[in-house]
Amino acid sequence: MYKTYKTQGIVLKRIDWRENDLLVNIYTKDYGKIKAICKGGKNINSKMAAHLEPFSLVDLFLIKSNNLEKIAGAVCLSNFSEIKNNLEKIYYTSQAINLVNKTIKQGKKDEKVFNLLKNYLIILKSSYNFSKDKYEFLFSIFILKFLSILGYMPELYNCVICKRKLEPSENAFNYEKGGIICKNCKKDYVFNQNQNICQEDISEQTIKIFRLILKQNCDRLLKVKTNQKILNQVNKIIRNYLMYNKYD
């Protein structure tokens, strides 16, 4: 028996499949990440394949048969053409799309991931005259929210070791423990020998920005006023935290 269903999704990646088909990775709203076959998709005249370009937001009709999804229909809601005309936007879109594609396993539904990615693409699409730093900050916001959804939300209020409420100064971010470590505990912390970096100093303003990232939406966060030094620290620590938790 074939089961037909409908959902919305964002195309993550597509590759050639067998002689005439495409295999498409899609992050869907209702079923998480799926891999589906687009029959005849390699044909240059395939109307369906034209709706399934990477980064596109699509309405999908899927057929499930023997563990393999087939795409019965696809209607592109937005192909984010404003992104595809700008190299910087393409770069930051690819970074987020690849992160989702590599990190997320098939078949685990999480509407929060779908909404985060969709929202990120909409901001990139409509971004105008963003500086490189602003794009970097936007991607940092994406990473920290994404990691938090996946269960790596950092502890930002109490020391990850002694659990005491944090004092405003001389704290560090501990990648291994996933959060802030106080000045007393950081001196005694024994590093895991396999890691190059394990913790680094973090300023009070950077901690405040981290807290805001976990509370507010991307649009509001991009309006936060801060200085370059803080922004650099935010970007550096969030990227290191991602590297530490990457499992690909």
First and final C-alpha spacing in the chain? 35
CA distance 32 to 26: 8
- 165 pairs with which residues across the strands? 158
Sign, Cα dihedral of 208, 209, 213, 215: positive
Sign, Cα dihedral of 181, 186, 191, 196: positive
Residue located via tokens 């699509």: 58
Nearer to Zn ion by Cβ, of 34 and 182: the residue is: 182
Nearer to Zn ion by Cβ, of 96 and 156: the residue is: 156
Structure-block tokens of residue 103: 């990190």
Nearer to Zn ion by Cβ, of 141 and 185: the residue is: 185
Nearer to Zn ion by Cβ, of 96 and 166: the residue is: 166
**Strands (DSSP E) found in 96-155:** none
The least distance separating Zn ion from the CB of residue 144, rounded to whole angstroms, comes to 22
Residue located via tokens 């309405």: 59
Number of H helices, E strands in the chain: 9, 8
**DSSP letter at 158?**
B
Structure-block tokens of residue 199: 């913790």
Q: Which residues would be at the binding site for Zn ion (CB under 5 A)? A: 159, 161-162, 182, 185
CA distance 130 to 193: 40
Nearer to Zn ion by Cβ, of 160 and 218: the residue is: 160
Nearer to Zn ion by Cβ, of 159 and 209: the residue is: 159
Structure-block tokens of residue 186: 């950081």
